[in-house]
Structure 1
Amino acid sequence: MYTRRNYGFWMTFNWSKRPFIFGLVYSTAVFALSHYLSNQIHLPWSAVTVIGIAVAFYLGFKNNSAYDRTWEARKIYGAIVNSSRSFAAAVVSFIKGKEDHEVKKELIHRHIAWMTALRHQLRLSKPWEHTDERLRHYVPTICESYNNKLDAELSSYISPTEIAALEGKTNKATQLLKTQSARLQELHDQGYFEHFRHMQFFDLVKDFYDNQGKAERIKNFPFPRQYASTALWITYVFAALVPFGIVDVFMNAAEWVYWVSPIFSALIIWVFFLMEKIGDYSENPFEGTYNDVPITQISRGIEIDIREMIGDDNIPGPIKEENGFLM
């Protein structure tokens, strides 16, 4: 997620410069060929604009749909923030008994382990994601699964026995919630809290399962490829026609204006590809690139809040931005 007021123009251009460069070369070639053939190669600009309007509407639909995925992902993590604080407050208030401080610490740390496993799973690469972009341009260093650091992080929160029990499990986050549920049942049986409060704990664990499932739905089900692909190909078709329409507009202009016109053609091509690219990079809000939901930063914020509730020590600081980006 970008945290500064605006992306700089040159930052935006550097991210999307290839369509402009190729568009400028292609447009110049079309203008030169048309000039060599006495302006016999051109298309009515009105016809090209009709296609452009259709492409713009389609790109708008795609971008709105992609934005909905990103915003839903942010709402899911907002719900995890709220439920996590409620869970920690319940742990602090409900748990009463022998060595209850250690019990509270165990439950809170296991919850942080669940958040850690979940964000690692959400950062795993999918075939439709922009995995090569994670190490390019302005993206900060990302710490999750593809660096194989999950077990090392979990060791700060749960015992080696619990980590070993997760070995070979397909969905470690799910297993951690199962362990948490079983432990809460044990504590209830040992008299740390009564039945009514046990049910409240169960409702909170259910909320965590629900939000995990919602996040996994976005992660594991791509933006439908037929919509994403069509947006790309019709943008290419429109870009291929733009120089021929611009020739129609400027073929009777002064010669210097005529030879400057490929720049206008390249700008139009760049604008449309920029719109397509923005939608493309908003489809997968957990992939670990420029405009993702900052799940690492959100998880760290939750960790700080709930560990402070139990007076824990060695609490880490907030995640800092890198070049204006949070992950």
Structure 2
Amino acid sequence: MITTKYFNYKQVLHLAGAHLIWLTCWCTLVVALFYFFDWEWMVIPWIPVALVGTAVAFFVGFKNNQAYDRLWEARKIWGSIVNSSRSFSSMIYAFTTENGDSDRLNIKRKEIVYRHIAWLYTFREQLLVPTEWEHISLTRHFGAVNQKRHRLIKAGFPDYGRTLLFQRKYLSEEEFNLQSEYKNFATYLISKQAKEINDLKNNNYISDFNQMQLQTCLNEFYEHQGRAERIKKFPSPRQFANTGFILIVIFIILLPLGLVNEFARLGVWGLWTCIPFCVVVGWLYIVMELVGDYSENPFAGLMFDIPMLSICRTIEIDLLQMMGEEDLPDPILSKQGVLV
């Protein structure tokens, strides 16, 4: 998540700077052919180009709106996880019966809260696994150049080893070693929580009604997880996501052909000023396209993502304080204007 008020020039260039090269080459080629070879036959009227540009703008606006909905839904999901986590842990420590003062209950409470923290980091790691349609997986078009570009625009690429450290800290050795047996380890951890809470009820540490309330909270975690996985595993429909860029390229190809004759009326110098104007207009359309393109995948591990690590750390600190622990980790701070 970008935390600065504005994009800095480096972020803008890393996002769309490479497109300035081919835009400049194409616009310069059109103007040069018109000026040196007097190819007036390639000029087209401006009105149809303007109509195409208007249609493309509506299409890109629709796509960006859908991309923002995916991004905002992802943020609401993690906001709900924050609220549900606090409610779950507070209920764990508030609910009790006549057997509620036993040392075994306190140990179980700590295990349940620790397991929930491990679930947070495990779930985050699972969401950060790249899919084939995310930008972080694109290497087929530009090879090493494309990989370098994405290393520049991403900030704080997920450290999977660090997630394992959290799991070792908050899970028992037996549970930690079970990861290889489950394709969705986060789901297993919630099911394990349900069994532990049911054992508390069977041992009369909590009442039946308390167990129902805690199970309802666990069901909410399943719901939050499922909603986030739906966004992660179901891409924005390709017929919308890819068509937008194709239409923009068509518009950019037509743009200098429609403007060169208009600028030629201003004289020789006016003709050559057509190049920067066409580049700026075309680049604006490309930036609009890229903003939506990068926003439609909020769990891709890039600087446009939901700051899941920061949210997990905030929840971790809150839950540890509820348990009365004093050795608290430091909050995650933004680096170079990006919070992960």
Class of the TM-score when normalised by the shorter of the 2 chains: over 0.9
User: Which residue does the alignment assign to 2:213?
Assistant: 200
Mark the runs of 5 or more structure 1 residues left unpaired by the alignment. Answer: none
SS of equivalent residue, structure 1 residue 167: helix
| 1:104 corresponds to 2:119 | no
| Residue pairs, 1:149-164, within 5 angstroms | 149-164=162-177
SS of equivalent residue, structure 1 residue 69: helix
CA contact (8 A) 1:15 1:137 kept: no
In structure 2, C-alpha distance between the alignment counterparts of 1:218 and 1:257, rounded to whole Å: 49
| 1:214 corresponds to 2:193 | no
In structure 2, C-alpha distance between the alignment counterparts of 1:97 and 1:134, rounded to whole Å: 58
In structure 2, C-alpha distance between the alignment counterparts of 1:306 and 1:179, rounded to whole Å: 19
In structure 1, C-alpha distance between the alignment counterparts of 2:39 and 2:177, rounded to whole Å: 74
Moved over 6 A (4+): none
| 1:241 corresponds to 2:254 | yes
Q: Are residues 178 and 190 of structure 1, via their aligned partners in 2, closer, same or farther at CA, if it must alter by over 3 Å?
A: same
CA contact (8 A) 1:219 1:286 kept: yes
User: Which residue does the alignment assign to 2:264?
Assistant: 251
User: Which residue does the alignment assign to 1:267?
Assistant: 280
Q: Which amino acid aligns with 1:129?
A: E
User: Which residue does the alignment assign to 2:151?
Assistant: 136
In structure 1, C-alpha distance between the alignment counterparts of 2:11 and 2:126, rounded to whole Å: 30
Q: Which amino acid aligns with 1:108?
A: V
CA contact (8 A) 2:124 2:309 kept: yes
Deviation at 1:38, TM superposition (A): 2.1
Deviation at 1:150, TM superposition (A): 3.8
Comparing 176-185 and 308-317, the one that deviates more: 308-317
Mark the runs of 5 or more structure 2 residues left unpaired by the alignment. Answer: 137-146
In structure 2, C-alpha distance between the alignment counterparts of 1:262 and 1:83, rounded to whole Å: 55
User: Which residue does the alignment assign to 2:295?
Assistant: 282
Q: Which amino acid aligns with 1:97?
A: D
User: Which residue does the alignment assign to 1:91?
Assistant: 92
User: Which residue does the alignment assign to 1:38?
Assistant: 38
Q: Are residues 90 and 72 of structure 1, via their aligned partners in 2, closer, same or farther at CA, if it must alter by over 3 Å?
A: same
Give the TM-score of the pair, scaled to structure 1.
0.95
Over aligned residues, Cα RMSD in angstroms? Answer: 1.5
Q: Are residues 14 and 174 of structure 1, via their aligned partners in 2, closer, same or farther at CA, if it must alter by over 3 Å?
A: closer
Comparing 5-14 and 67-76, the one that deviates more: 5-14
Query: Deviations along 1:276-301, whole A, 9 cap, x unmatched?
Result: 00010001001111211111111110
User: Which residue does the alignment assign to 2:123?
Assistant: 118
In structure 1, C-alpha distance between the alignment counterparts of 2:252 and 2:223, rounded to whole Å: 44
User: Which residue does the alignment assign to 2:59?
Assistant: 58
In structure 2, C-alpha distance between the alignment counterparts of 1:197 and 1:106, rounded to whole Å: 18
SS of equivalent residue, structure 1 residue 284: coil
Q: Are residues 70 and 10 of structure 1, via their aligned partners in 2, closer, same or farther at CA, if it must alter by over 3 Å?
A: same
In structure 1, C-alpha distance between the alignment counterparts of 2:218 and 2:299, rounded to whole Å: 22
In structure 2, C-alpha distance between the alignment counterparts of 1:281 and 1:45, rounded to whole Å: 32
User: Which residue does the alignment assign to 1:4?
Assistant: 4
Comparing 210-219 and 256-265, the one that deviates more: 256-265
Deviation at 1:152, TM superposition (A): 2.9
Q: Which amino acid aligns with 2:12?
A: T
Q: Which amino acid aligns with 1:290?
A: M
In structure 2, C-alpha distance between the alignment counterparts of 1:204 and 1:195, rounded to whole Å: 14
Deviation at 1:233, TM superposition (A): 0.6
In structure 2, C-alpha distance between the alignment counterparts of 1:192 and 1:248, rounded to whole Å: 84
In structure 1, C-alpha distance between the alignment counterparts of 2:36 and 2:164, rounded to whole Å: 66
User: Which residue does the alignment assign to 2:241?
Assistant: 228
State the identity as a percent: 37
SS of equivalent residue, structure 1 residue 114: helix
User: Which residue does the alignment assign to 1:74?
Assistant: 75
In structure 1, C-alpha distance between the alignment counterparts of 2:19 and 2:50, rounded to whole Å: 19
SS of equivalent residue, structure 1 residue 155: helix
In structure 1, C-alpha distance between the alignment counterparts of 2:149 and 2:270, rounded to whole Å: 42
Q: Which amino acid aligns with 1:4?
A: T
In structure 1, C-alpha distance between the alignment counterparts of 2:117 and 2:188, rounded to whole Å: 13
Aligned residues: 325
Deviation at 1:10, TM superposition (A): 4.8
